[in-house]
Amino acid sequence: MGRPKVMVIDGNSLMHRAFYALPMLTNRKGIPTNAVYGFTNMLLKLIDEYKPEYIGVAFDKKGPTFRHEVYQEYKATRQKTPEELIPQFDILKKMLRLMGIAIYEIDGYEADDILGTFARISSEKDMDAYLVTGDRDALQLVSPRVRVVMTKKGISDVQVFDEDEIKQEYGLTPSQIIDLKALMGDSSDNIPGVPGVGQKTALKLLHEYHTVDGVLDNVQNISGKKLKENLIQYRDQALLSKKLATIVQNAPVDLNIEDCCFEIRYSRDLYAFFEELGFSSVIEKLGFQKEEGTKPNSGTGSKTVVDISTEEQLKDLANTLSNTEKIAILVGDEDITLADNGSKLYRINIDGSSTGNGLSYDQAIKGLEQILENEQIQKIVYNGKRLILDADKCGVRVKGLAFDAYIAAYLLDPTAHRYSLSRLMYSYAGVDTDAADAADLFKLSEKMGEQLDETQMLELYETIEHPLIYVLADMEITGFKVDREMLVKLGEEFSSEIETLTEDIYDLAGEEFNINSPKQLGSILFDKLNLPVIKRTKTGYSTDAEVLEQLRPYHELVEKIIEYRQVMKLKSTYIDGLLNVIDPNDGRVRSSFNQTVTATGRISSTDPNLQNIPVKVEMGRRIRKVFVPTNEDYVLVDADYSQIELRVLAHISGDPTFIDAFLNKQDIHRRTASEIFGVPLEQVSPEQRNSAKAVNFGIVYGISDFGLSRNLGISRKQAQEYIDSYFARYPKIKEYMVRIVETARKQGYVTTLMNRRRYLPELKSRNFNIRAQGERLAMNTPIQGTAADIIKKAMNDVYAELKRRNLRSKLILQVHDELIIDTYKPELEEVKDIVVRCMENAMDLRVPLVVDVGVGTSWYDAK
């Protein structure tokens, strides 16, 4: 029988690791839970892997320690704990108590010291101790009976250190780790060490002289003048650092290892606690069921892997799966895996993988053609758009997508930005794996489907986001024709304009200089012309766009600099950029349309970004002239929602005056100007209308008096008067703004009219600026997000109707509230009817959705 095992976890270390490793998760009340979730899964994994009889969790106690008494600057440079992590410590401690796991924390000492004391006592009792931490300080505690389980990347990857491992990595004994830190210092704990001594130098010194004392006693024998001087000058600092780095092994803690004996058993309170946190995967992993005792962990079951490396095997696989109702497909870099929810996993080895043999990617896709094109076989995927695009290159049309875990992950956590499959498996299915395969997608899709249903987003997924996968893929496949000859000519015109502006700038500056150098430009503006300095950077004067806008009234040169930068950016980004991405085979550019990037639900485009072509300046608008129909038999139809966000605001707020303006087809900005300036509609001046327009759109984004004053060039007092007058005339809009922020604070998120969620942890921040940003997001997201849902619904409907009627015309671009259809001329009237009807009927609001339609032989002309 082996020795008893005791495991001690550094709670602070593991919580910080989990917090940064996982996306921001919250429960239904909006309380952050990602660190607790990560800690819990790591805890269960450790228990399963090491099977300890005893467990304790150590925490740092708030307040100064004995190390601060020795050195006041100890840990002074450490960053503050993130606001979203702070409340999770109390949640974790409650969970540990419910699980029957001992908690330790002592005034004046750190969690490290508790680990050290555990290490000593367990060794004395002839127990094997495992210290779980991410802090390498703990390596000094390693002994024949003590190992350190070091978390590395995230929290799932660990390295176990015993004496041999420390010797192999550092060439040191465990006790020498203290000396290593004493010499090189530790910026995270603000332990000073000896200046100029890094790890390489410290290791060299310790390999020769063994300890800090040995190094200092032999300082005259050490080569390197500066090193020797520093060791002499900072002798006391090195000895102090050693004292700070030494972990106490006799901390005054009431530590009886028998108190750490544990068994995680079912209890109503523990079950309810996990339910409250939304930890359904943890409940399943523990095998808990209501009112029942502990059950063994069900696990994921074993599966037989069938390798496919030849065309004959691939043909047999296609025949085997051809009558299956549902399969999962996962495309990797080295293989394609398929599963049918049975016990078999089919792995197609792609040539060039680590196995050294297999099929080419094209062979694999073509071999699966009868499966991929069979709409009756439902397919669970991860990133279905990629599969569609890759298959299309092989002449295969993917049909029958049933569930895309990548898109579902975005809906459930729209601010995560990264949705790796291994992370999704860990977060939603409770499976810790670095090599997820198609079989895992079955469980993942089930769990994510449940989450979508619980958060009332299943309908949004099924009716909006899932069909959109096909729409965006088809838009990318089709591309947008570019007139290369016109683009080159436009580039020449831009180059000529840049030359003219350059000469003008030199004349106004009185000398030639590098206009693209912020340092040289700053010298001209502030040293030579004595313009007021707005702000500085670490290297000198700031000449960014914000600064130049404020300097515009002071000198004509500033205006020319702004124009120069605009034209330079247009040429480099759009002229030169587009020339580099035009497909030489068909003269088209193919932008990537991103469905999982923006937190509000809007689609973005990249490579090239066709949504950010400037339209406020004529030179920017001219770039749209190079985007043309397929050929002379086609024209472009451009359909654009009129003031969609303000119409959504009218619907959500229910403000009768705002609604009345739209119902009576009034110019909403003129009507708003009439209301806030108290003048009849017919007497509203252009300036008043522009001011009202800025207020209307500013309100949607939660603008402040400061922001509005900057936009309109007026005082903050006058801007606040505009805002106050606005809310006085539209009181229901003000009520909505107050109500939505309060609702967001209570539940932790806001929703669109189609139940798209955005979690807002910013509202719980103690930082005023972050909290204010959260309030603006709470006001804007339901409006902007609903507008995004509407345009997506319209895209799906237009795409489906064009296909249903088997028309040649194709939807090729979406830009915010605008759709562009490459239209076959004989189908023009039919297409216009389809796009207007689909867009105006995408959602039923209290006010009508209005669409403006243009037709032209270029994007410029159609707009």
Q: What are the chain's domains?
A: 5-260 (3.40.50.1010), 304-455 (3.30.420.10), 481-589+597-628 (1.20.1060.10)
Q: Which of 217-231, 350-364, 417-431, 541-555 has the lowest mean pLDDT?
A: 350-364
- Mean pLDDT of the residues in the chain: 89
Asked if pLDDT for residue 293 goes beyond 50, the answer is: no
Residues 223 and 510: their CA atoms lie apart, in Å, by 57
User: pLDDT tens-digit profile of 802-842?
Assistant: 999 999 999 999 999 999 999 999 999 999 999 999 999 99
Q: Which residue has the higher pLDDT, 369 or 711?
A: 369
pLDDT reading at 720 higher than 70:
yes
pLDDT at 381: 97
Do 700 and 780 touch, CB atoms closer than 8 A?
A: yes
737-743 long-range contacts, Cβ below 8 Å, gap at least 24?
737/699, 737/702, 737/779, 740/778, 740/779, 740/782, 741/775, 741/778, 741/779, 743/778
pLDDT at residue 424 in the model = 86
Give me the mean pLDDT over the 368-392 stretch.
96
- The answer on pLDDT for 295 being more than 70 is no
pLDDT at 81: 83
The larger pLDDT score, comparing residue 552 to residue 704, is at 552
Tokens representing 241? 């650092």
CB neighbours of 524 closer than 8 A, spacing ≥ 6?
Answer: 509, 511, 513, 557
**Residue among 505, 507, 550, 557 nearest 529 (CA):** 557
Whether residue 737 contacts residue 750, with contact meaning beta carbons closer than 8 Å, is answered with no
Q: Is the pLDDT assigned to residue 432 strictly greater than 70?
A: no
The residue-averaged pLDDT of 522-547 equals 89
The tokens describing 515, both together, are 């206009």
- Averaged over 763-784, what is the pLDDT? 87
List pLDDT tens digits, range 586-595: 999 999 999 9
Instruction: With a cut of 50, say whether residue 301 has pLDDT above it.
Output: no
Residue 296 has pLDDT above 50, yes or no: no
Angstrom distances, CA of residue 662 to CA of 653, 750, 845: 14, 26, 11
- Identify whether 608 is preceded by a cis peptide bond (ω within 30 of 0): yes
| Helix ranges, 361-478 (H) | 361-367, 369-372, 384-393, 405-412, 421-424, 438-454, 458-460, 466-478
Of 207-216, 353-362, 465-474, give the range with the top mean pLDDT. 465-474
Work out whether strand 158-161 and strand 128-133 pair parallel, antiparallel, or are unpaired: unpaired
**Residue 621 · residue 434 · CB < 8 Å:** no
Other C-beta atoms lying within 10 Å of the C-beta of residue 211: 17
Residue carrying the six token digits 């940003």: 773
Distance CA 411, CA 514 (A): 47
Q: Which of the given ranges, 116-120, 266-270, 627-631, has the highest pLDDT on average? A: 627-631
> How many helices, marked H, and strands, marked E, lie in the chain?
38, 25
Q: How far apart are CA 772 and CA 760, in angstroms?
A: 11
d(CA 188, CA 48): 32
Cβ–Cβ < 8 Å for 346, 359: no
Give, as one character, the DSSP assignment of residue 108. T
Cα 258 from Cα 858, distance rounded (Å): 80
Contact 818, 640 (CB under 8 A): yes
What's the alpha-carbon Rg for the chain, to the nearest Å? 32
